[in-house]
Structure 1
Amino acid sequence: MSAPHDPARTRWPERLPGHDRFDYRPITRRHDYAWPNGARLAVYLGFNIEHFAFGDGLGACIGPASPHPDVLNHGWREYGNRVGAWRCLQLFDQLGLPTGTLVNTALYDHCPELVQAFAARGDELIGHGHSNAERQGQLSEEEERALLQRCRDRIERESGQAPAGWLSPWISESRLTPDLLAETGYTYTLNWCHDDQPMRMRTRGGGRLWAVPYPQELNDIPMIVARQMDSRAFCDMVVDNFEEMLTQSQAQPLVMGLALHPYIVGQPYRLRHLREVLGHLARARDEGRVWFTTPGAIARHMEAVAADAPAGAFD
């Protein structure tokens, strides 16, 4: 007969594996600062313009995925580039709202005029991989470094601005992604959704890299596609989130991002509701209650704040 199990003899690791990119610090114990003009809440639009390979790779689906070529789901996503993004751009112009435009560099081959339309209005262009049909985290270190450098060089060559920020397609990272971002000239990442304030990340070479909050709930893909929330409920959620964060920001500076994809919110019946919610945010901006900005401006402001802060305030 085997001896009875003794729980006291079970060996558990003292510490679970971690990433060591930043230390734990609760939101209630942070260095205080303000956004420009004394604002306490920074708000930005993360507008994703993306291109997907036909007959291969990944992509969000409106209906069950079919064997490639999946014409139904590919065509639904392509509606965003042909129609939805242009309708959204008109709305952004009407309200005078800047965007952080997340760019697949394959768009320069497919529909370069779309990227140019956002660059021409002065929007920040943010690296978002070559295509959203691929996962970055599956690449080797050499392949990933080459992807980051090629995307940065292509955006600078085509649009005249080198991207400071990066969002991986499908938020797919390797263990080295933050290191490689810093080493290839990026100053911030949107991949991490762990906080409501920007966080400085450690990298292997000591390079500066900020994690600017990017929303995984205030985001049309997980809410409308995955959870099948209707457009009115999604827009109500955005307003509720905004008003609650305004209240919370009285105590400390916060960041609220809103992630949008034109093949989703560019559908006319959803755009109708988005028009209302963006008007609500624009009025708050006009009243001086928020700083409506871009992720890159947030990262630059944090560099200035950190330079004047006490030692260790953002470590």
Structure 2
Amino acid sequence: MTFDTKNDRYPFSQITARPTYEWPNGARLAVYFALNVEAFEFGRNPGPDFTTMPAAPFHRGFAYRDYGNRVGITRIHNAFAEQDNPLAVLANLSVYDACPEILVPFRERGDEFVGHGRTNSERQLDMTPEQEREVLVAVRDRMLQEEGTRPQGWLGPFISQSAHTPELLVETGYSYMLDWWFDDQPQYFRTDNGPILAVPYPSMEMNDIPALINRGMSDRDFEAMLIAAFDQQLRESEHAPQVYAVSIHTFLMGQPHRVGILHRVLEHINRHQDEIWFTTPGAIAEHVLQLPEVQPTGTT
């Protein structure tokens, strides 16, 4: 497959040159945390186990990630419940079959559920358009059945996209995606089926996997980074509205020696409750889609 070397999915614009707007209650910084809740097929590579090169049947990697669903997710839920902060739950469809009970506490809290593929054992990049459409529809319909509402947002497993993903997302009824991180404000993204909103998602930076595993950042430095980024974006948001987003995984941040990071970061953020909007990516997308100041220029 060949790709056009010119990106025509969204126009260039510098954040300082755009129209200014506010989030609800006059806030200028929107804050959300995304919790990845994933299930894997045993015997298929779930990704590195971070010790040695994995080999079939990949039991170490499977067990490591299963720990997150059996134990870690409860610690994470409690951290957010104790401070009454919302979450976006990015759930694989297979979680509903493997361990549906772990989603109940988040459903009862009213957290947002975001489509995150059937299983993290497959990637959209490897699919035909027909196969990918089948996945998007399956996730949409099963979440409607389980949650009572269809998911508005999407993040591909492994943040993987094919050349057809944006068009297929619009076709199957998704209003925003998290796969593209190129800005600190939501931006309209062109597709052949009309625009879709790209909501900022920390795929490369404030995400526990690339930070702690790929870059080898210490727990202490990861915590300091989350706080430093929040403080900086809060200052900058006085001049331009921004989105502060953090991505976490049950098997990493749910470890007993790490969950304290969440408690301390949330405490720091909550000291500024009068200045921020602590929310979910779906609420952010809904707000932006209704703003007359922000229109999908050059994305139709």
Structure-2-length-normalised TM-score: 0.95
SS in 2 for 1:45: strand
Is 2:82 the partner of 1:94? yes
Instruction: For 2:87, give the aligned amino acid.
Output: T
Instruction: For 1:294, give the aligned amino acid.
Output: T
- Alignment partner of 2:61 out of 59, 73, 85: 73
Aligned residues: 295
Is 2:293 the partner of 1:309? yes
Whether the aligned pair in 2 keeps the contact of 1:179 and 1:203 (CA below 8 Å) is yes
Whether the aligned pair in 2 keeps the contact of 1:105 and 1:151 (CA below 8 Å) is yes
SS in 2 for 1:240: helix
**Deviation for aligned residue 1:312:** 6.3
SS in 2 for 1:284: coil
| 1:9 alignment partner in structure 2 | none
Matches within 5 A, 1:98-247: 98-206=86-194, 208-215=195-202, 216-247=204-235
Instruction: For 2:52, give the aligned amino acid.
Output: P
SS in 2 for 1:257: strand
**Deviation for aligned residue 1:230:** 1.6
Is 2:248 the partner of 1:264? no
How far, CA to CA, are the matches of 1:304 and 1:39 in structure 2? 16
How far, CA to CA, are the matches of 1:312 and 1:166 in structure 2? 19
How far, CA to CA, are the matches of 1:99 and 1:180 in structure 2? 26
Gaps of at least 5 residues in structure 2 are none
- Alignment partner of 1:44 out of 26, 32, 40: 32
| 1:61 alignment partner in structure 2 | 49
Is 2:68 the partner of 1:84? no
Matches within 5 A, 1:271-310: 271-285=259-273, 288-305=274-291, 308-309=292-293
Q: Write out per-residue CA displacement over residues 7-40 of structure 1, whole angstroms, 9 at most, x where no aligned residue.
A: xxxxxxxxx7123111111112111111011111
Whether the aligned pair in 2 keeps the contact of 1:101 and 1:126 (CA below 8 Å) is yes
**Deviation for aligned residue 1:273:** 2.3
Identity %: 43
How far, CA to CA, are the matches of 1:96 and 1:311 in structure 2? 33
Gaps of at least 5 residues in structure 1 are 1-15
How far, CA to CA, are the matches of 1:246 and 1:313 in structure 2? 27
Q: Write out per-residue CA displacement over residues 52-110 of structure 1, whole angstroms, 9 at most, x where no aligned residue.
A: 11111332423223311122221111111000001110111000010111000000110
- More off after superposition, 252-261 vs 112-121: 112-121
Largest Rg, 1 or 2: 1
Whether the aligned pair in 1 keeps the contact of 2:45 and 2:58 (CA below 8 Å) is no
**Deviation for aligned residue 1:212:** 0.0
User: CA 1:314 to 1:294, structure 2 compared with 1: closer, same or farther past 3 Å?
Assistant: farther
How far, CA to CA, are the matches of 2:288 and 2:238 in structure 1? 19
User: CA 1:280 to 1:247, structure 2 compared with 1: closer, same or farther past 3 Å?
Assistant: same
Instruction: For 1:39, give the aligned amino acid.
Output: A
How far, CA to CA, are the matches of 2:5 and 2:171 in structure 1? 24
State the superposition RMSD in angstroms.
1.5
User: CA 1:21 to 1:234, structure 2 compared with 1: closer, same or farther past 3 Å?
Assistant: same
Whether the aligned pair in 2 keeps the contact of 1:141 and 1:176 (CA below 8 Å) is yes
User: CA 1:310 to 1:165, structure 2 compared with 1: closer, same or farther past 3 Å?
Assistant: closer
Structure-1-length-normalised TM-score: 0.90
SS in 2 for 1:268: coil
